[in-house]
Amino acid sequence: MANNIYIGVDLGGTSIKVGICDENGKLLHQMEGPTESEGGPEVVIKNIANYVREIVASSSYHWDQVAGIGAGITGFLDIKEGIVKLSGNLGWHDVPVKKMLEAHLGKTVKIDNDANVAALGEAWGGAGAGIPNLVCYTLGTGVGGGIIINSQIYVGSTGVAGELGHIAIVPDLEAIVCGCGQMGCLETVSSATGIIRMAKDAVERGDKTSLALVEHIQAKEVFDAAKQGDEVALRIVNRAAFYLGKSMATLAVVLNPQRFILGGGVSKAGEILFAPAREIFKRFTPEPAQEGVDIVPATLGNDAGVIGAAGLNLHR
Amino acid sequence: MANNIYIGVDLGGTSIKVGICDENGKLLHQMEGPTESEGGPEVVIKNIANYVREIVASSSYHWDQVAGIGAGITGFLDIKEGIVKLSGNLGWHDVPVKKMLEAHLGKTVKIDNDANVAALGEAWGGAGAGIPNLVCYTLGTGVGGGIIINSQIYVGSTGVAGELGHIAIVPDLEAIVCGCGQMGCLETVSSATGIIRMAKDAVERGDKTSLALVEHIQAKEVFDAAKQGDEVALRIVNRAAFYLGKSMATLAVVLNPQRFILGGGVSKAGEILFAPAREIFKRFTPEPAQEGVDIVPATLGNDAGVIGAAGLNLHR
């Protein structure tokens, strides 16, 4: 009998990526098409359905082999019911994606948020393949997270588990307000936004740094300056790594995962971020919770979303 | 057909408690007998087996109704294999409890550590009955923890998950070394030991407090003084509550449980501890992770261990 295949959809504001995975999380085919979100939910859902049918038709697989379809979506979701409660970049409010797509395609559809889906992608077909218990950070504009327990995404009681960016990790006297309204969230220091803010603050107060000459500071410029020995940039990078490492120490005693995976744009900085983060992790984690635990970079890059979405029907 | 019953064993250094539970975690019968640990593992295991047979024989239940036997044990355990790797209060080293008891009794035996078992007891038959995802703190000499996910104990990759006492929560400049070797663990401030230490420090440095008149300060005296308006005692209690509340804020965004249960001797302090802990929890937890979450006292007291042990065969 022919093997099952799994379809993943990465639904973005301007484009939709669709991929076919085998049962081991290997991405076999992928394509991309416009979202056309200005046409409203009906148009977008019809586009997704068309892309899904197209990619299967243009492959060597048959429609009968499609075991399920998953979609990763940015926004507030009712994961269980498959409803997008609110999505800023799509302009959606209470859209029953699961029901609409199932009506179009006649296959089981599951949805989940982008950070969870990226974590599942890495767990299934990337840096976490074969590891049942792991934690994945997405270090981008914000800090997202996904917790994988027994090879499944863990979503918690109301679907907000794994919001690692909102661990209140910065002590009160050094803390600033986060976008979520709380003080001292990890996201305020270990995201690209946090790193840029710290760099701009340093320049504004006249710290002696090469960053003063950069017109539009991005996180990459801060990492580059640090690599070239700029002390101010190095201090900022170490601060981002410190709280990242300390948050992993907390997760080690709470969740006892076997692996931490760091993905997203900020993780591309490499050893200048990983080395101090690993050192801080070691300093703050009791011996038994460190044993056999490693901290590794994500390997799937932008494909993690499509692959993880495809995995929703196997792993939740 | 007759209902199943579940036997729980709380194995202590001086006495062994044995109980019979129904499938809803209700404790139907219990008895207690000497451990006789000086006789070595063979004697202790034989005692357990005898107490288990005795309690069933003296009840209205039949041996055939016994669906399984669980034991809660303090020490380093290989939970999966049912081996006590090291137990200080029993003086044991590599004792295959599961295998030995199964040979005596002809029933499935499972073991787990005391904090996990207490958490399961509360989850099954106590303050968490009917709640699938919850976190239980045991605030005693140390700070123990147990995480219940989908009504099961979550033990993690190597069995050290839920070590809530070793979350590095106290900022560096205020941190002291914990028994585990790391700095700033929750246990250093929110355990009875931590509270007593802070009280003794205050007396030693001459702080103006009624505790200066107490010969052997215990946590209870600190709470009593705080209730009577002693400002130094109140500051100590608030510090214990602050880090406890902050650790719950972290767990709320990581695990998104529906309930926190606080048990152990320190939790008996009541509102003077719970009120500030709840306030800090609210301050540091983003709105969506607070919704529907409550923080409640444990209800089973010392029976949590026997009940949770009985539940090991239903809930792991």
Q: Which two tokens stand for residue B277?
A: 């802990």
Enumerate the residues of chain B whose CB falls inside 8 A of the CB of residue A249.
168
- Identity of the residue in B132, B161, B256 whose CB atom sits nearest the CB atom of A256: B161
For residue range A170-210, what is the model confidence (pLDDT) as tens digits?
998 899 999 888 999 999 999 999 999 999 999 999 999 99
- Identity of the residue in A158, A182, A256 whose CB atom sits nearest the CB atom of B256: A158
Interface contact flag, B155 A256, Cβ < 8 Å: yes
pLDDT exceeds 90 at position A288: no
**What contacts A13, CB < 8 A, 6 or more positions away?**
A35, A37, A74, A89, A90
Distance to chain B for A7, nearest Cα, Å: 28
Interface test with chain A among B256, B285, B294, by most A beta carbons within 10 Å: B256
Distance to chain B for A73, nearest Cα, Å: 18
pLDDT exceeds 80 at position B315: no
Enumerate the residues of chain B whose CB falls inside 8 A of the CB of residue A285.
168, 182
- Identity of the residue in A133, A180, A253 whose CB atom sits nearest the CB atom of B286: A180
Q: Residue B176: what pLDDT?
A: 95
For residue range A110-149, what is the model confidence (pLDDT) as tens digits?
999 989 999 999 999 999 999 999 999 999 989 999 999 9
Averaged confidence pLDDT in chain B: 95
Distances in Å between the alpha carbon of B204 and those of A146, B97, B216?
A: 47, 46, 13
- The whole-angstrom separation of Cα A233 and Cα A199 is 7
Contact B94, B85 (CB under 8 A): yes
Q: Residue B181: what pLDDT?
A: 86
For residue range B65-92, what is the model confidence (pLDDT) as tens digits?
999 999 999 888 888 899 998 888 898 9
For residue range A218-249, what is the model confidence (pLDDT) as tens digits?
999 999 999 999 999 999 999 999 999 999 99
Q: Residue B31 — pLDDT band, cuts 50, 70, 90?
A: very high
Assigned architecture for domain B129-299: 2-Layer Sandwich (3.30)
For the residues A66-74, what does the mean pLDDT come to?
Answer: 96
- The whole-angstrom separation of Cα B143 and Cα B133 is 20
Beta partners for A110?
A70
Interface contact flag, B182 A289, Cβ < 8 Å: no
Contact B196, B215 (CB under 8 A): no
For residues A260-289, one letter each, b for 16 or more C-beta atoms within 10 angstroms of the residue's C-beta and e for the rest, the string is: bbbbbebbbbeebbbebbbebbeebbbebb
Enumerate the residues of chain A whose CB falls inside 8 A of the CB of residue B133.
156-157
pLDDT exceeds 70 at position B42: yes
For residue range B270-284, what is the model confidence (pLDDT) as tens digits?
999 999 999 999 999
For the residues A273-296, what does the mean pLDDT come to?
Answer: 95
Enumerate the residues of chain A whose CB falls inside 8 A of the CB of residue B175.
none
Q: Taking the domain A127-299, which CATH number applies?
A: 3.30.420.40
Q: Residue A254 — pLDDT band, cuts 50, 70, 90?
A: very high
- Identity of the residue in B161, B181, B257 whose CB atom sits nearest the CB atom of A255: B161
- The whole-angstrom separation of Cα A149 and Cα B135 is 16
- Identity of the residue in B133, B167, B185 whose CB atom sits nearest the CB atom of A157: B133
Give the count of beta carbons closer than 10 Å to the beta carbon of residue A58.
11
Phi/psi at B44 (5° precision): -65, -45
Task: Using CA coordinates, name the residue in chain A closest to B252.
Answer: A161
Q: Which two tokens stand for residue A215?
A: 């017109």
- The whole-angstrom separation of Cα A308 and Cα A19 is 10
In chain B, the N- to C-terminal Cα span, in Å, equals: 24
Q: What is the fold, at CATH topology level, of the domain defined by B5-122+303-311?
A: Nucleotidyltransferase; domain 5 (3.30.420)
Interface contact flag, B154 A149, Cβ < 8 Å: yes
DSSP codes joined into one string, B78-112: ETTTTEEEEETTTTEEEE-HHHHHHHHHSS-EEEE
- Identity of the residue in B133, B246, B289 whose CB atom sits nearest the CB atom of A163: B289
- The whole-angstrom separation of Cα B270 and Cα B248 is 17
Give the count of beta carbons closer than 10 Å to the beta carbon of residue A297.
17
**What contacts A258, CB < 8 A, 6 or more positions away?**
A131, A132, A133, A134, A292, A293, A294, B157, B158
For CATH 3.30.420.40, the residue range(s) in chain B are 5-122+303-311, 129-299
Q: Residue B133 — pLDDT band, cuts 50, 70, 90?
A: very high
Greatest alpha-carbon span in chain B: 69
Averaged confidence pLDDT in chain A: 95
Q: Residue B8 — pLDDT band, cuts 50, 70, 90?
A: very high
For residue range A5-14, what is the model confidence (pLDDT) as tens digits?
999 999 998 9
For residue range B168-227, what is the model confidence (pLDDT) as tens digits?
999 988 999 998 888 999 999 999 999 999 999 999 999 999 999 999 999 999 999 999
**What contacts A107, CB < 8 A, 6 or more positions away?**
A7, A66, A68, A69
Task: Using CA coordinates, name the residue in chain A closest to B183.
Answer: A284
- The whole-angstrom separation of Cα A114 and Cα A141 is 13
Distances in Å between the alpha carbon of A299 and those of A120, A124, A304, B54?
A: 12, 11, 8, 59
Interface contact flag, A254 B147, Cβ < 8 Å: yes
Distance to chain B for A285, nearest Cα, Å: 7
Give the count of beta carbons closer than 10 Å to the beta carbon of residue B294.
13
Assigned architecture for domain A5-113+303-311: 2-Layer Sandwich (3.30)
Q: Residue B1 — pLDDT band, cuts 50, 70, 90?
A: low
For CATH 3.30.420.40, the residue range(s) in chain A are 5-113+303-311, 127-299
Which of these ranges, A86-90, B260-264, B289-293, has the smallest mean pLDDT? A86-90
Enumerate the residues of chain A whose CB falls inside 8 A of the CB of residue B253.
160-161, 163-164, 166-167
pLDDT exceeds 80 at position B316: no
**What contacts A94, CB < 8 A, 6 or more positions away?**
A83, A84, A85, A86
Interface test with chain B among A187, A254, A281, A290, by most B beta carbons within 10 Å: A254
DSSP codes joined into one string, A221-269: HHHHHHHTT-HHHHHHHHHHHHHHHHHHHHHHHHH--SEEEEESGGGGG
**What contacts B12, CB < 8 A, 6 or more positions away?**
B35, B74, B89
For the residues B36-53, what does the mean pLDDT come to?
Answer: 97
Give, in degrees to the nearest 5, the angle at Cα B96 between B92 and B99: 150
Beta partners for B69?
B7, B109
Distance to chain A for B158, nearest Cα, Å: 7
Q: Residue A195: what pLDDT?
A: 98
Q: Residue A315: what pLDDT?
A: 75
Q: Residue A88: what pLDDT?
A: 81
Interface contact flag, A155 B246, Cβ < 8 Å: no
Interface test with chain A among B134, B154, B160, B260, by most A beta carbons within 10 Å: B160
